[in-house]
Chain A
Amino acid sequence: MTDLLELAEHESPRGSLDHCVKCTICETACPVSNVTPLFPGPKYAGPQAERYRVGGEPSVDASVDYCSGCGICTQVCPQGVKIAELNARARDALKRDRGVPVRDRIITRPTALGRLGTPAAGLANFALGLRPARIAAEKLLGVHRDAPMPRFAGRRFSRWARGRTSPATGRRAVYFHGCGTEYYEPETGEQVVAVLEHNGFEVVVPSQDCCGLPLQSSGLFDDARRTVLRLARALDGALGGDPDTVIVGNATSCTLMLKREAREILGLEDDPVLKRVSERVYDICELLLELHDRGELRTDFQPVHETVAYHAPCQQQGHFIGKPALELLALVPGLEVRELTARCCGIAGTYGLKAEKYEIAMAVGRELFGQIEGSGAGSVACDSETCRWQITHGTGRPSAHPIEYLHRAYGL
């Protein structure tokens, strides 16, 4: 029994900190501490400071709020220390101690924002494009005036999905489209559905809300837990008990939330529904690449004569599956793909929207923006919507989900 408890402790983020040998590899890769002294670095703020964080005691450090939560530290750590996860928990403790700004209570609720903005999309987009309105929003709310804001599509993906039925094929995929697709980029969702159906999937789109990631990354853990568990139940219901049905999503940070972060960071390891859902989730590119590996992906691609730069977002890298989009894009004849090596665009979900963090986010993104500009590519493929908005904001180049290129090459 003690052995089991010991094991559980070692597998948890807190338990993993004793594996830290202070090698500094996380510090070499941290995009934030490399551009600002406000965040002293993942080792310093993570395993080192964690030893001084005692349950119930006041939080020892405010700097952890400057961690963007990109998770790169955890990816590069050779000893398996859950650095980003430790820091996310420390941020939650900090917010409990010192309170949460109103701004963070608003921008972390994409479902509510989307519902408000969609019916009045014209007006909302107009207001968001107005300088005085943005300045006011910065002053009142602390949302930076220049931060990239998506435009409401004015229609909801789920309305489109509800108006059609996917042909039954015996191979089912439950589509988790996320808020970005729902309110801002419904066309990406339509492309995902078309590509999946083209490859023989019956696509089921259950009614669904936010995954809770923005709440979690702003340190609002209780709300995040409620939100993600509600989503897990909605998706689980759509699985219908069929062991072969997969859940597939195109928003890599939201799928990561379901796969791993909610369980590890929010401490929801014991929820059986979330566990079942998390084990069933696929990123869309991960799924298609596996299909290709099995010889089951259709490759009736038309040539696309373009050069595209590919950026794998941090949260996509947090899936620990490499870069399946690269291998898929390589299947399209004529398409020249340039892999970008800069790790982070800076936005980290809502981090780069915040007035006090906008400049940091832009400084983080600079290396990536430079690589894009030097790549000769006309557009940028990237799996995460907030990163795409930041990339377009930072470079002026159009960006799209990798699925858009596949969709086009299929001629769908």
Chain B
Amino acid sequence: MNRELHYDAVVIGAGVAGLVAATRLAQGGARVCVLARGVGSTHLAPGTVDVLGYAPDAVREPGPALEQLAASQPGHPYALVGAGVVADALDWFVATVQAGPLPGYGYVGGGLELGGRYPSALGALRPSALVPVTMAAGEAQQLGRLCIVGTPALRDFHPSLCAANLAAAGIDARAVPVELELDRADANTLGVARRFDDPGWRARFCARLAPLLGGEDHVGLPAMLGLRDPFGALADVEQRLGRRVFEIPTLPPSVPGMRLYEILSSALRAAGGRLVLGAEVVSGRWSGGRVEAVVTRAAGHDRVYAAPWFVLASGGFASGAIELDSHWTARERILGLPLRGVPPAGEPRFVPEYASEQPLARAGVAVGGDLRAEGADNVLVCGAALPGAAPWREHSGEGIALASAFRVAQVVGELAGSPAEATA
């Protein structure tokens, strides 16, 4: 016995990129196993699908802007993936959510045609191509008079700050704090969301809020409309308050992001894919320019997963998959794959202004046009591990994760004939 298992494809990472790549591969008939040290940034990010918000100016029509970006930045993930694939990936995503475990819950918005803008917790208007249906009524153009509701018990959401910034942007917004007894040392939106799952609690919440509302036609709440049936909760709350209601993304934990994880992991299960959580991949077993197997830290003894294809969806600097050490050397930690976009020695890696374009921000695992890693013929790369993008400035992180993962599964299919045959 050598603690080794064989699959048609092994995916490293359980963020949006890993889950989508694995689901697509499994839907194509492959036996897929996802190995992840932990869950990915779904639980932290807003749960919206941001395709391209700034390029570098605010983008109104993501479709044409994508084409221009691809033409001017050939190393950008969108250039490698192609605008057509982005559109297909979005369509697949919308259909997958619709068929998912949350009744009535879906993603809506202008997609690639017309990007919407939705209030953030700070009261800025964030561009997104698709948002959960629970956020839809927050689209800036359709907002009339707006009331931002919060509770002092949630220390990371300040309705007056949000409303003041929206008002500064010309939106008629006012803040309404509601007292909620949350009896917790560390109250957050997740705790409230679990209560929103209970219709009785929802009714009491609405009864407390209703008298505080005035002539507003829209109510914005921190994203906490429940985990089990957010669509039903939205309809219920809208009906009780007699107004359009929408969710505003919050600091972590992200309730909409948790729903997204639930939806994507259930799609993976339905397609027959396997997920091993807590399995940190520490190295690869190489044979020439190919990776034969990867090694995970399991309890007691390392475990080995062999496959003809590997997908590296382990994220970038934020997830710790790429690291800059104290000697200023950047490296990909699992397979030691070559990076691209690291500023040469002596050049600045960072600039003082946090929100500016950071020289290191575009670093990632070097890939060819088909998203195969340089120096590893059977390793494909997707998501935040890819080089060439500045997702924090472009507002493109989720779009890149989704589209590149979708593309990776296509490439494996093309290279292997059909992924299921790849083991032969």
Contact = CB atoms under 8 A, between A and B. Distances in A.
Interface residues of A, number: 47
Interface in A38-78: 40-41, 43-44, 74-78
Contacts, number: 123
Interface string A306-347: 000000000001111111001100000000000101000000
Contacts of A323: 274
Nearest to B266: A341
A79 B320 CA distance: 7
Interface residues of B, number: 43
Nearest to B44: A23
Interface in B192-225: 194
A279 B301 contact: yes
Contacts of A44: 185-186
A174 B422 CA distance: 37
Interface stretch (A137-145, A157-165, A223-231, A281-289): A281-289
A80 interface: yes
Nearest to A78: B38
Interface string A227-255: 00000000000000000101000000000
Interface string B303-342: 1000000000000000110000000000000000000000
A78 B191 CA distance: 21
A293 B37 CA distance: 23
A202 interface: no
Interface stretch (B86-94, B158-166, B276-284, B385-393): B276-284
Nearest to A44: B186
Contacts of A43: 186
A74 B278 contact: yes
Given A27-B190, A75-B278, A318 B184 contact: no
B37 A339 contact: no
B279 A25 contact: no
A245 B297 CA distance: 21
A256 interface: yes
Contacts of B183: 37
Contact of A25 (B44, B185, B297): B44
Interface stretch (B2-10, B71-79, B140-148): B2-10
Contact of B5 (A34, A279, A290, A318): A290
Interface string A248-271: 000000001011100000000000
A21 B188 CA distance: 17
B43 A322 contact: no
Given A317-B277, A322-B274, A24 B300 contact: no
B43 A28 contact: yes
A265 to B, nearest CB: 12
Contacts of B303: 320-321
B299 A317 contact: no
B176 interface: no
B120 interface: no
